Amino acid sequence: MVEGVFSDKWKANSVTPIFKSGDRTDVTNYRPISIIISHIAKIFESLVYNSVLKSVDNILINEQHGNWVSSWSFDNNM
């Protein structure tokens, strides 16, 4: 992490097509879901996410909470 390198071995994913609706023979009716295979990558992703979340949380003001963790769209519209 200090070197800014994310190993190619950690980037291995499994992509699964998930059916949305409509004709099952039409490939545009599916959306891809990427599943991280590496447990190390999952842990790393969680660490980076939490670090970014804490940093951004200290910068944003309360009025900038739409679509944010623990915020409700209803509160934003009030």
**pLDDT the model gives residue 63:** 62
Q: Bridge partners of 32?
A: 17
10-residue mean pLDDT series, the chain (78 residues) = 68 86 94 81 84 78 59 52
pLDDT the model gives residue 49: 85
Check residue 8 and give its pLDDT. 72
Kindly tell me the sign of the dihedral angle through the C-alpha atoms of 51, 57, 58, 64.
Answer: positive
The Cα–Cα gap between 11 and 44 comes to: 11
Residues 6+ apart with CB under 8 A from 10: 38, 40, 41, 44
- CA separation for the pair 35, 68 (Å, rounded): 23
pLDDT at 18: 93
Domain ranges in the chain are 1-60
Q: What is the per-residue pLDDT for 46?
A: 86
**Which residue's entry shows tokens 């009025």?**
63
What is the predicted pLDDT for the residue at 21? 94
- pTM (predicted TM-score): 0.43
